[in-house]
């Protein structure tokens, strides 16, 4: 049980540190690496000839998000990720909202990517696309399998990510090399952009959907409490992941816009963006694109659906992992009932959290199934809303913590810093963090403006969560809008000790003592 101070009591079950540097990269790639398999067709269907612009705008914001998470995760290597950062900076109530938004994202992650797993399989077995009940049952089966896998332990789950992630990095690179060498034409790209421009509303909607391509980097920070030497490991894995995903997203969008496809039903030549953005193909877009590449297309038609299904499978897997770890952290800090932090005595995994949020994913899948052709839009809208809201709050948290907790050692810092003093507190303001905040807030506004489901279901999720939070806190005699008193210094010392970051621990203690001495001298 967590104490009122927020420090984990002696003897409480903790998460096991078994994730290495490649495992850390693989956790992030398992989530964000699969996003192009999901987002490419959806964004092409909306943003049309300007899909590359949509991906570029979201990519700039993504770089800022990635650098922000890298700094915060290396400084605060705990399981809660963005939820913990916001809670530490802005208090319990805002911390709950951030955590609840991320929980929405990872619950959608479980559902959306389980859906796409069967979508890619249906490229090889078209019969599935015509039998929706069987399709849905298989999606539920995927969710059940991943729930069981995560209940066994993070080490087993991480091994799956590592193997599939390595294969996919090589595969996606090979597709791009073949595509740009054999079939891509710059004049086709220019013509497509000139003659297939979207409306302003569709472009904004495309940008808000393009952020889906970059959601998941925070998975690295969610595994921080299970990562060996996180302060040195996570910056390396995060920066490598940022570059990998940015290159893939920009390259695939421009490749698709510079290609044409032959529709096998009509034998007519159509723009590739139009072909993979259609309702028949947007749930398996990368496989469809790769199959249209001359010479190697026949091989890709058999191979890519398999690797695509495996990659979106492990992305769904990381959703189960991420949701359970966030709930674990929120339970530890009394933002959710304490049973969310209960770990299995043998596997040391948060079993109850895993079961609850996998159950939520099944409910969302059922709602999506009822939507019929609107299923993917329903899930994608919620996904974009949760990501934009949580990332907005994380940027605010980073800016605030630079001034309120400047003593915490930061082995990695966002660049372009300006020293400032605000309300008597000294710190550095990163101009890149301000740029990221403005960019992701704009995407949040785009989502609310252009997505019907995101505009209604997203805020409804937040409101229902706040009602539950208020009931829980009132019942337990905790302040609703205030924060429980916590000894953040002792908690941070315990975190750094557990992580094996003893140099950072010494540096932190010296900084805290120096700040205390300066405060005493001023008094």
DSSP annotation string for 233-292: HHHHHHHHHHHHHHHHHHHHHHHHHT-EEE-TTT--EEEHHHHHTSTTTTTSHHHHHHHT
Q: Are the beta carbons of 109 and 315 closer than 8 angstroms?
A: yes
Q: How far apart are CA 370 and CA 435, in angstroms?
A: 40
Domain-located, residue 15: no
Q: How confident is the model at residue 516 (pLDDT cuts 50, 70, 90)?
A: confident
Highest mean pLDDT among 132-146, 148-162, 216-230, 430-444: 430-444
Q: Which residues does 240 contact at the CB level (< 8 Å), separation at least 6?
A: 25
The yes-or-no verdict on residue 26 having pLDDT over 80 is no
Main-chain dihedrals φ then ψ at residue 422, nearest 5 degrees: -125, 125
Higher pLDDT, 224 or 78: 78
Q: Which residues does 214 contact at the CB level (< 8 Å), separation at least 6?
A: 32, 35, 58, 59, 61, 62, 65, 66, 245, 246, 249
Q: Which residue shows structure tokens 């996998």?
A: 358
Query: What mean pLDDT is predicted for residues 133-139?
Result: 91
Element (H, E) at 405: none
Q: How far apart are CA 177 and CA 30, in angstroms?
A: 22
Q: Are the beta carbons of 288 and 272 closer than 8 angstroms?
A: no
Q: How confident is the model at residue 502 (pLDDT cuts 50, 70, 90)?
A: confident
Beta bridge partners of 260: 271
Q: Which residue shows structure tokens 């038609």?
A: 301
Q: How far apart are CA 34 and CA 113, in angstroms?
A: 8
The yes-or-no verdict on residue 519 having pLDDT over 80 is no
Domain that holds residue 131: 21-458
Domain tally, the chain: 1
Q: Which residues does 18 contact at the CB level (< 8 Å), separation at least 6?
A: 154, 155, 158, 226, 228
Share of the chain above pLDDT 90, in %: 46
- Residue 73 sits in a domain whose CATH number is 1.20.1740.10
Q: How far apart are CA 24 and CA 226, in angstroms?
A: 9
Share of the chain above pLDDT 70, in %: 88
- The token duo for 199 is 């409306």
Domain-located, residue 144: yes
pLDDT of residue 88: 94
pTM for this entry: 0.85
Q: Which residues does 281 contact at the CB level (< 8 Å), separation at least 6?
A: 41, 275, 288
The closest of 86, 80, 87 to 350, measured between CA atoms, is: 80
Q: How many Cβ atoms sit within 10 Å of the Cβ of residue 163?
A: 13
Q: How far apart are CA 8 and CA 305, in angstroms?
A: 45
- The token duo for 308 is 């695509």
Domain-located, residue 501: no
Q: How confident is the model at residue 348 (pLDDT cuts 50, 70, 90)?
A: low
Per-position b or e across 432-471, b if 16+ CB within 10 A of its CB: bbebbbebbbbbbebbbebbebbeebbeebbeebeeebee
Burial of 10 (0-12, 13-18, 19+ CB in 10 A): exposed
The angle subtended at Cα 215 by Cα 367 and Cα 162, nearest 5°, is: 105
Domain-located, residue 268: yes
Domain-located, residue 443: yes
pLDDT of residue 157: 54
Domain-located, residue 472: no
Q: How confident is the model at residue 2 (pLDDT cuts 50, 70, 90)?
A: very low
Query: What mean pLDDT is predicted for residues 147-176?
Result: 78
Domain-located, residue 467: no
pLDDT of residue 198: 95
The closest of 334, 380, 277, 273 to 475, measured between CA atoms, is: 334
Q: Which residue shows structure tokens 């999720």?
A: 461
Domain-located, residue 38: yes
The yes-or-no verdict on residue 178 having pLDDT over 70 is yes
Q: Are the beta carbons of 430 and 402 closer than 8 angstroms?
A: yes
């Amino acid at each position: 049980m967590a104490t009122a101070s927020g420090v984990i009591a002696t003897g409480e079950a903790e998460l096991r540190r078994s994730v290495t540097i490649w495992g850390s990269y693989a956790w992030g790639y398992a989530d964000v690496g699969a996003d192009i398999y999901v987002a490419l067709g959806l964004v092409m269907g909306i943003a049309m000839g300007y899909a590359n612009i949509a991906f570029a705008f979201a990519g700039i914001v993504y770089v800022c998000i990635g650098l922000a998470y890298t700094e915060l995760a290396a400084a605060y290597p705990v399981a809660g990720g963005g939820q913990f950062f916001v809670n530490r900076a802005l208090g319990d109530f805002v911390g709950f909202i951030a955590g609840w938004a991320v929980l929405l994202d990872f619950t959608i992650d479980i559902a959306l990517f389980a859906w796409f797993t069967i979508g890619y399989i249906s490229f090889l077995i078209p019969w599935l696309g015509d039998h929706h009940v069987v399709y849905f049952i298989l999606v539920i089966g995927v969710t059940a399998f991943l729930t069981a896998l995560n209940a066994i332990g993070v080490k087993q789950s991480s091994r799956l990510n590592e193997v599939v992630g390595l294969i996919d990095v090589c595969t996606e690179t090979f597709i791009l090399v073949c595509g740009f060498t054999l079939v891509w034409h710059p004049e086709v790209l220019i013509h497509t952009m000139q003659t297939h421009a979207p409306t302003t509303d569709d472009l904004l909607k495309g940008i808000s959907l393009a952020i889906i391509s970059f959601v998941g980097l925070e998975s690295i920070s969610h595994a921080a409490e299970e990562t060996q030497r996180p302060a040195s490991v996570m910056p390396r894995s995060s920066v490598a992941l940022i570059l990998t995903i940015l290159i893939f997203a920009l390259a695939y969008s421009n490749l698709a816009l510079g290609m044409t496809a032959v529709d096998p039903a009509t034998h007519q030549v159509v723009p590739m963006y139009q072909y993979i953005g259609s309702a028949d193909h947007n749930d398996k877009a990368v496989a469809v694109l790769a199959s249209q590449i001359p010479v190697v297309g026949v091989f890709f038609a058999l191979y890519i659906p398999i690797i695509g299904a495996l990659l979106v499978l492990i992305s769904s897997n990381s959703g189960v992992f991420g949701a359970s770890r966030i709930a674990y952290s929120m339970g530890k800090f009394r933002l959710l009932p304490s049973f969310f932090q209960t770990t299995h005595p043998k596997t040391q995994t948060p079993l109850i959290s895993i079961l609850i949020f996998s159950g939520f994913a099944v409910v969302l899948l059922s709602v999506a199934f009822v939507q019929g052709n609107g299923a993917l839009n329903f899930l994608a809208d919620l996904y974009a809303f949760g990501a934009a809201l949580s990332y907005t709050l994380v940027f605010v948290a980073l800016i605030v913590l630079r001034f309120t907790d400047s003593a915490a050692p930061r082995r990695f810092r966002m660049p372009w810093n300006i020293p400032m003093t605000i309300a008597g507190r000294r710190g550095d303001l990163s101009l890149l963090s301000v740029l990221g905040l403005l960019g992701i807030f704009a995407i949040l506004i785009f989502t609310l403006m252009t997505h019907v489901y995101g505009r209604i279901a997203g805020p409804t999720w937040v409101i229902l969560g706040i009602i539950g939070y208020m009931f829980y806190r009132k019942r337990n005699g905790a302040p609703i809008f205030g924060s429980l008193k916590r000894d953040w210094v002792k908690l941070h010392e315990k975190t750094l000790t557990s992580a094996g970051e003893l140099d950072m621990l010494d540096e932190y203690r010296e900084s805290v003592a120096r700040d205390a001495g300066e405060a005493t001298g001023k008094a």
